Structure 1
Amino acid sequence: MAITASMVKELREKTGAGMMDCKKALTETDGDFEKAIEFLREKGLASAAKKADRIAAEGLTAVEVDGNAAVLLELNCETDFVAKNEDFQAYVSGLAKHLLAKRPASVEEALEQQMVGTDSTVKEKLSALIAKIGENMNFRRFEIVEKADKDSFGAYVHMGGRISVLTVVENSTNEDMAKDIAMHVAAINPRFLSTAQVSNEVIEQEREILTQQALNEGKPENIVQKMVEGRMQKFYSEVCLLEQPFVKDPDVTVAKLLKKEGDNVTISSFFRFELGEGIEKRQENFAEEVMSQVKKS
């Protein structure tokens, strides 16, 4: 049976599911609307779509290491209560293993892949979880990282998944040190790895701010430049990982800590996911919410 645009539109209006999901349901059921609705319900797609406009800024970040490959990911839900749910946590664990096995290039590609160890796609499994738990969820981002045998990963998860960090230390197999640096990144949140990574735009903007601060303090113009240079070094020590005082021993910088391990030991990259960063969270007044429910009852 030919599936028309009007049939897809009608099914979408009845279920709230996406257009492509509706078309697939109608195709699978040869245009039978009741069976198509049941198909969407079984996949969790009908109820999941109705929750899609609800803000999901809680959830978990996670790190999974497998030999010379590791993945960092974030899965969001609406409440931290659901983030502690065993099914939610199991999905995060399974998703991490899937990403390492299949190596998708994007979230969109990952969602369409058949999830490792299941007969459903990543998206279908997520939709079924949404339907079961009753909250909107969103697979937001991931980063797959590789290293050589001579290098080490530093993996650290803070506060049960509020922050996850992955560092790659080259020319050292000291995983304890790599993890200590990951803990440092979690705590201090550097913006850059080294001064070389700071863009000219950021440098000029900071110089301008520091210059104006010095002039506002009434400093003579002939010494302002020297003051700015000194304060720029302080700026670098605040935003660049290698220049920062090591959180467990502030007497040494991270760069000096690495040098103790060996002259050629360095950090090639680091990744830090903080749960919900950049997501505009809904501000709720729980007293008003309770009162509104009382009035309805």
Structure 2
Amino acid sequence: MISSKIFARFVHLQGPCLAAEKSLLATLRKKTGYTFSNCKKALELHNNDIKQAEAWLRQQAQSLGWAKATKLEGRQTSQGLIGLSFNSKNAALVEVNCETDFVARNKEFHKYVEEATLSCLNFAQTQPGDKTIKKISLNSDQMKAFLATDGKSLADHLALMIGTVGENASLKRGLCVKAPSDVHLVGYVHPSGSDGSVLLGKIGGLIALKQLSSKCADLDEIGKKLCQHIVGMNPQKIGTSDDEPAKDKEEEVCLIHQEFLLDDSVTVKEVLDEHEIEVVDFKRLECGGDTVEGVNQPLELIETCQ
């Protein structure tokens, strides 16, 4: 029979230990989001070393993600999001697809789109500048090879995300843009619901503007309004004075001849003239579309990353 003193000592020694283990377990679950049983197993396998346990959990999830990605491969991914990140000289537009709109609203899916977009923006920033706008189109395989902020590839993160959300997803395409010193880039997505460094929506718009004088005090503000127009009105080209305006205003495809979305009493050309700015180029990317819309002449300016 165990004496009361020994029993009391046993309780005294085990109590704080059990409390510490529960605290580690709670911390690991909160940090990773994995199940109680998996977190407990991870801690047991690594003698309660939370860093090693977390690394093991992510390795396991990634392994399961690859297996699930292989199993789900081929299932249609028609939903998803456009990610857009930009500064005045560099921009990246990325499309990531999934099977359902429900997953497109999932936080893990959002995190992946953000990570992919920032990786593409980083790629754009590392490219050498030029006197003209440099545009680099990226396919799925090229983007998958890019490294995320943690040093893992976007392919690895895609597998992990698939394992988490439980349905197929694909990194469809991307576009990187680098502007010369005299051109200013501005972007916008719709619907607009992101305030961070990456904007997420169903349609993304990007515009490259050049000041013809110092009259326009806020290129970002007017640029955003013009991007809203591009997203909403879907022009096919900038247009020139040689382009005759369409007889039916609803069928106008030239940006400069379209009625301005935010004020249909004026045309886009009149807005540009008022602020003494010029549209050098624009892009419009819609989730589920086949091509990057708004690709203007000359097409030779578009480069494909090898």
Q: TM-score per shorter chain, which class?
A: 0.5 to 0.7
Q: Which amino acid aligns with 1:58?
A: Q
Partner residue in 1 for 2:222: 177
Provide the C-alpha distance between the structure 2 equivalents of 1:43 and 1:197, rounded to a whole number of angstroms.
58
Provide the C-alpha distance between the structure 2 equivalents of 1:197 and 1:125, rounded to a whole number of angstroms.
49
Q: Is the counterpart of residue 187 in structure 1 residue 232 in structure 2?
A: yes
> Pairwise CA RMSD of aligned residues?
2.8
Decide whether the 8 Å contact of 1:153 with 1:179 is kept in 2: no
Partner residue in 2 for 1:73: 94
Provide the C-alpha distance between the structure 1 equivalents of 2:182 and 2:275, rounded to a whole number of angstroms.
13
Q: Of 237, 261, 266, which aligns to 2:278?
A: 266
| Cα deviation 1:2-39 (Å, max 9, x = unaligned) | xxxxxxxxxxxxxxxxxxxxxxxxxxxxxxxxxxxx98
When normalised by structure 1's length, the TM-score is 0.63
| Cα deviation 1:87-140 (Å, max 9, x = unaligned) | 111111111111111248622222123x23223211111011111211111111
Instruction: Show structure 1 runs of 4+ deviating over 3 A.
Output: 38-41, 148-151, 195-198, 231-237
Number of aligned pairs?
A: 208
1:168 alignment partner, SS class: strand
Decide whether the 8 Å contact of 1:71 with 1:145 is kept in 2: yes
Q: Of 276, 281, 292, which aligns to 2:288?
A: 276
Decide whether the 8 Å contact of 2:188 with 2:206 is kept in 1: yes
Q: How far 1:67 moved relative to its partner?
A: 4.1
Q: How far 1:152 moved relative to its partner?
A: 2.7
Q: How far 1:233 moved relative to its partner?
A: 4.7
Provide the C-alpha distance between the structure 2 equivalents of 1:120 and 1:76, rounded to a whole number of angstroms.
20
Q: Indicate the percent of aligned positions where both proteins have the same amino acid.
A: 27
Q: How far 1:74 moved relative to its partner?
A: 0.8
1:50-61 residue pairs with structure 2 within 5 A?
50-61=71-82
Partner residue in 2 for 1:241: 255
Alpha carbons of 1:232 and 1:157: their partners in 2 closer, same or farther (altered >3 Å)?
A: closer
Alpha carbons of 1:65 and 1:126: their partners in 2 closer, same or farther (altered >3 Å)?
A: same
1:91-170 residue pairs with structure 2 within 5 A?
91-103=112-124, 106-107=138-139, 108-113=141-146, 115-160=147-192, 161-170=201-210
Q: Which amino acid aligns with 1:239?
A: V
Partner residue in 2 for 1:21: none
Q: Which amino acid aligns with 2:260?
A: F
Q: How far 1:154 moved relative to its partner?
A: 2.6
5+ unaligned residues in a row in structure 2: which ranges?
A: 1-58, 125-135, 193-200, 292-306
Q: How far 1:168 moved relative to its partner?
A: 1.1
Q: How far 1:195 moved relative to its partner?
A: 5.0
5+ unaligned residues in a row in structure 1: which ranges?
A: 1-37, 199-228, 280-297
Greater per-residue helix proportion:
1
**Greater mean alpha carbon deviation, residues 178-187 or residues 38-47:** 38-47
Alpha carbons of 1:237 and 1:47: their partners in 2 closer, same or farther (altered >3 Å)?
A: closer
Provide the C-alpha distance between the structure 2 equivalents of 1:197 and 1:71, rounded to a whole number of angstroms.
32
1:196-207 residue pairs with structure 2 within 5 A?
none
